[in-house]
Amino acid sequence: MNKTEAKSRIDQLTHDLEEHNFQYYVKSNPTISDFEFDNLLKELEKLESEFPELAHVNSPTKRVGGDITKKFPTVIHDYPMLSLSNSYSKEEIIEFESRARKLTEADMEYVCELKYDGVAIGIKYVNGEFMRAVTRGDGTKGEDISANVRTIRTVPMKLRGSDIPSELEIRGEIFFPLDRFLALNKQREEAGEQLYANPRNTASGTLKNQDSSLVAERGLDTYLYGVYSQSKVATNHYDSVLKAGEWGCHIPSVSDNMIKRCKSIEEIMDFINYWDEKRHELNFEIDGVVIKVNDFIQQEDLGYTAKSPRWAIAYKFKAAEVTTVLESVTYQVGRTGAITPVANLAAVHLAGTTVKRASLHNSDQIEKLDLRIGDHVYVEKGGEIIPKVTGVDLSKRASDSQPFEYAMHCPECDTLLVRKEGEAQHYCPNDSGCPTQIVGRMQHFISRRAMDIEGIGAETIDQLYKEGLIRDMADLYDLKAEQLLPLDRMAEKSVENILFGLEASKQIPFERTLFAIGIRYVGETVAKKLARHFHSIENIKAATTEELMNVDEIGERIALSVREFFDNENNVAIVNRLKSAGLQFEIPADQLADQTNKLEGLTFVISGVFDRHSRDELKALIEKNGGKNTGSVSAKTSYLLAGEGMGPSKRTKAENLGVQIISESDFEQMID
The residues assigned a catalytic role are: 115
CA–centroid distance for 103 within its chain: 26
Dist. CA 289–CA 287, nearest whole Å: 7
Angle, vertex CA 51, rays to CA 47 and CA 57, nearest 5: 90
Q: How far apart are CA 24 and CA 33, in angstroms?
A: 10
Alpha-carbon gap, residue 626 to 628, rounded angstroms: 7
DSSP type of residue 120: E
Distance, in Å, from the CA atom of 308 to the CA atom of 302, rounded to the nearest integer, reads: 11
C-alpha pair distances (Å), 373 with each of 343, 346, 347, 392, 572: 9, 12, 15, 11, 44
**Residues 28, 156 contacting (CB under 8 angstroms):** no
The Cα 464–Cα 474 span in angstroms is 13
H/E run at residue 260:
strand 259-262
Cα–Cα distance between 351 and 334 in angstroms, integer? 28
Q: What are phi and psi of 76, to 5 degrees?
A: -80, 130
R_g over Cα of the chain: 28
Number of C-alpha atoms within 13 angstroms, CB side, residue 148? 28
The identity of residue 220, as a single letter, is L
Supply the DSSP symbol for 295. B
In this structure, how many other beta carbons lie within 10 angstroms of the beta carbon of residue 83?
Answer: 12
> Distance of CA 607 to CAs 5, 62, 207, 377, 381, Å?
56, 45, 40, 51, 40
Distance (Å, whole) CA 649 – CA 658 = 14
Angstrom CA distances, 332 to 144, 341, 400, 424, 624, stand at 34, 6, 28, 15, 42
d(CA 574, CA 571): 5
Instruction: Give SS3 for 174.
Output: strand
Return all residues near 279 (Cβ < 8 A) that are at least 6 apart.
Answer: 285, 286, 317
In this structure, what DSSP letter does residue 662 have?
E
